[in-house]
A and B are shown apart, each in its own frame.
Chain A
Amino acid sequence: MSWLFEPGWWANGTVRTALLVGFVVAVVSAIVGVFTVLRGQSFAGHALTDVATAGGAGAFLVGLAPLAGFIGGGVAGAGAMDAIGVQRVKGRDIATGVVLGAAMGLAALFLFLAARDSSATGTTQLILFGSIFTVGPSTLAQVSWLSAGVLVALAAIARPLLLSSLSVELAVARGVRVRWVGLVFMILLAVAVGMSAIVIGAILSTALLIGPPASALRVARRFAVGVVLAVVLGVVATWLGVLFAYDSYYWFPSHRGLPVSFFVVAVVLVEYVIASVVHRAAPSPSVAAGWS
């Protein structure tokens, strides 16, 4: 196995922390992502990462912890999108687009100011593409607590959320407060993408949010199986991404490693292609029956 694990992999504390935080973030992203895909809110999820970027850059500019900025920005964005009308299908694209545009503008400004005023030239790089190897134990603890909170809240609203994702009319007739459940979910989504921005960067956190659930839902026949599969695919992608990024340091004579985010997204894409091929090759009984 030494060809796979380059020297120092097992003894490296940074690597261990990266794997742990990557695990936590991948699990939360996958579970939240399953509902995001089911509700057709992938675009909203992406827009929230852009708002998180603005938040993270702003936090960096004023000397706050980036994590707080990422999450604060995301939650504010979720609130803004709800206020503009993300709940109505017709207004959804518009609300998302308006918030996304505003957030990108702010992010551009903050990143420009941070790059101009700060001696640390890597800020833009750090915020947009992630910094999993710079995560400290304190951030790991914060991310773990936040993740636990997101998962508990999501479990609490899981059934009403699932029913209203299947059909708003059915949910309303059952007495589900559809709007309220939708808003809580948007906030959970914002926290989830804020955390994954830490790992693979704001630009690419959509890939971790949407990719594994999309692959899982292609092949799973039961919802619970889909959730478990999404978690497995997300964790595998994140861990392989960290491993390849670590190894890539030894691939070139110059000893310049490639970024984690690139490898995570590459694995996510490969997983999706495999899931699509499996889906085509062995259609589920329901699909087969639909043809007959």
Chain B
Amino acid sequence: MTSQLHEASQPLLEVRGATVNIDGRDILRDVNFSINHGEFTGLIGSNGAGKTTLFRVILGLQRQVTGSVLVHGEPITRANRSIGYVPQKVLFDPDLPIRARDLVALGADGHRYGLSRRPRALHAAVDEMLDAVDAGSFADRRVGGLSGGEQQRVLVAHALISRPELLLLDEPLANLDPGSVEEIIALLHRVSQRQRVAILLSAHEMNPLLPVMDRVVYVANGHVASGTTDEVVRPSVLSALYGHHVDVLRVHGRVLVVATALPVGPAPSDQHPEFVVE
């Protein structure tokens, strides 16, 4: 276990042949991918494709999983301190007397029993994390009164304070205006480089992520394809994933995945929508 070499050769997270079967239905089938230290990975798929389920698998919360999920080469455990998580759609009541800094502090000791006094080092760490996500200016305001983008940043600080090596973000861009989307992505990219944390971010739209994404994990039909954007977002790979032919168009630096127009001839079947995703 000589560290540096070992760390370089071994992926941070490795998912091998993972299948999730709930009530006789495969939600995810034979999923394989890995994430290396410090990488920014986009988990792309439409609603209901199984992105949240995959997060639950990585967090060790999903039952009925076969295959293996390894962190540092070890099987995952529940509440792994090296994984931080920002769930989808956390709604805070505006009347809740919890300030942004209180929520961040709970990221460090919210799982601990007893009411021990918070050490000074914790308060310093809270300030550091709030600064890292540009949330210092609203640290003392109630979380429920903050905008969606501001709440996202506080939740990222909440997840970062335990110094994870991998940060999972479930649809953090949903319901944000385009300006905030760019802001959050730039901020996450900066955080991943400065705090040396790998990021796995789920989204149904990959275009905003193209400038920062090192790798993509594409989910469709319960199957997963992974690699660099160029390796994965290709007609041959995505057609195999969707189970019917799709085209990949590149227009003005954007990527569009569209179902191929139906062949002329027999009456069009209802099973083939004209456009699939994005």
- Whole-angstrom distance between the alpha carbons of A155 and B116 in the complex? 10
Given A159-B112, A167-B87: A217 and B95 within 8 A (CB)?
yes
What chain A residues lie within 8 Å of B95 (beta carbons)?
Answer: 217-218
Question: Looking at A157, A163, A170, A226, which has the most chain B CB atoms within 10 Å of its CB?
Answer: A170
Give a binary string over A218-229; 1 marks a CB under 8 Å from any B CB, 0 the rest: 101111011000
Tell me the smallest distance from the CB of A150 to a CB of chain B, in Å: 14
Q: Is B98's CB under 8 angstroms from A166's CB?
A: yes
What chain B residues lie within 8 Å of A176 (beta carbons)?
Answer: 110-111
Given A167-B87, A169-B90: A220 and B97 within 8 A (CB)?
yes
- Whole-angstrom distance between the alpha carbons of A5 and B84 in the complex? 59
Contact for A217 among B97, B115, B155, CB less than 8 A: B97
Give a binary string over A171-210; 1 marks a CB under 8 Å from any B CB, 0 the rest: 1111110000000000000000000000000000000000
Q: Is A159's CB under 8 angstroms from B115's CB?
A: yes
> Which of chain B's residues 38-90 have a Cβ closer than 8 Å to chain A?
59, 61, 78-79, 84-85, 87, 90
B124 within 8 A of A: no
Given A221-B142, A223-B97, A286-B146: A174 and B111 within 8 A (CB)?
yes
Q: Is A160's CB under 8 angstroms from B115's CB?
A: no
What chain A residues lie within 8 Å of B103 (beta carbons)?
Answer: 166
Q: Is A155's CB under 8 angstroms from B115's CB?
A: yes
B92 within 8 A of A: yes
Given A160-B110, A160-B111: A170 and B145 within 8 A (CB)?
no
What chain B residues lie within 8 Å of A286 (beta carbons)?
Answer: 94, 141-142, 144-146
Given A163-B110, A170-B158: A175 and B79 within 8 A (CB)?
yes
Q: Is A159's CB under 8 angstroms from B144's CB?
A: no
B131 within 8 A of A: no
Tell me the smallest distance from the CB of B21 to a CB of chain A, in Å: 22
Q: Is A160's CB under 8 angstroms from B112's CB?
A: yes
Q: Is B106's CB under 8 angstroms from A166's CB?
A: yes
What chain A residues lie within 8 Å of B114 (beta carbons)?
Answer: 155-156, 159
- Whole-angstrom distance between the alpha carbons of A35 and B59 in the complex? 27
- The chain B residue with its CB closest to the CB of A219 is B97
Contact for B78 among A167, A175, A218, CB less than 8 A: A175
- Whole-angstrom distance between the alpha carbons of A241 and B200 in the complex? 57
Q: Is A160's CB under 8 angstroms from B113's CB?
A: yes
- Whole-angstrom distance between the alpha carbons of A49 and B138 in the complex? 41
Contact for B106 among A157, A159, A172, CB less than 8 A: A159
A158 within 8 A of B: yes
What chain B residues lie within 8 Å of A158 (beta carbons)?
Answer: 115
- The chain A residue with its CB closest to the CB of B146 is A286
- Name the prevailing secondary structure of the B interface residues: loop
- Whole-angstrom distance between the alpha carbons of A170 and B147 in the complex? 19
A290 within 8 A of B: yes
What chain A residues lie within 8 Å of B138 (beta carbons)?
Answer: 289
Give a binary string over B128-149; 1 marks a CB under 8 Å from any A CB, 0 the rest: 0000000000100110111100
Tell me the smallest distance from the CB of B78 to a CB of chain A, in Å: 6
- Whole-angstrom distance between the alpha carbons of A117 and B102 in the complex? 56
- Whole-angstrom distance between the alpha carbons of A157 and B106 in the complex? 13
- Whole-angstrom distance between the alpha carbons of A225 and B98 in the complex? 11
> Which of chain A's residues 133-167 have a Cβ closer than 8 Å to chain B?
155-160, 162-163, 166-167
What chain B residues lie within 8 Å of A172 (beta carbons)?
Answer: 59, 61
Tell me the smallest distance from the CB of B226 to a CB of chain A, in Å: 23
Q: Is B87's CB under 8 angstroms from A162's CB?
A: no
B107 within 8 A of A: yes
A11 within 8 A of B: no
Q: Is A169's CB under 8 angstroms from B87's CB?
A: yes
- Whole-angstrom distance between the alpha carbons of A139 and B213 in the complex? 67
Tell me the smallest distance from the CB of B96 to a CB of chain A, in Å: 7
Given A170-B90, A286-B146: A223 and B102 within 8 A (CB)?
yes
B196 within 8 A of A: no
Q: Is A173's CB under 8 angstroms from B85's CB?
A: yes
A287 within 8 A of B: yes
B29 within 8 A of A: no
B99 within 8 A of A: yes
Q: Is B99's CB under 8 angstroms from A221's CB?
A: yes
- The chain A residue with its CB closest to the CB of B142 is A286
What chain B residues lie within 8 Å of A287 (beta carbons)?
Answer: 94, 142, 145
- Whole-angstrom distance between the alpha carbons of A226 and B142 in the complex? 13
B278 within 8 A of A: no
What chain A residues lie within 8 Å of B102 (beta carbons)?
Answer: 222-223
B109 within 8 A of A: yes
Q: Is B99's CB under 8 angstroms from A290's CB?
A: no
**15 A-B residue pairs with CB within 8 Å:** A38-B96, A159-B114, A160-B112, A160-B113, A163-B106, A166-B96, A169-B90, A170-B85, A171-B111, A172-B59, A222-B102, A284-B142, A284-B145, A285-B141, A287-B145
A interface residues (Cβ-Cβ under 8 A, vs B)? 38, 155-160, 162-163, 166-167, 169-176, 217-218, 220-223, 225-226, 284-287, 289-290
Q: A173-B87, A174-B110, A289-B138 are in contact. List 13 more A-B contacts (CB 8 A).
A: A156-B114, A159-B109, A159-B110, A159-B114, A163-B106, A166-B98, A169-B87, A172-B61, A176-B110, A221-B142, A286-B142, A286-B144, A290-B94
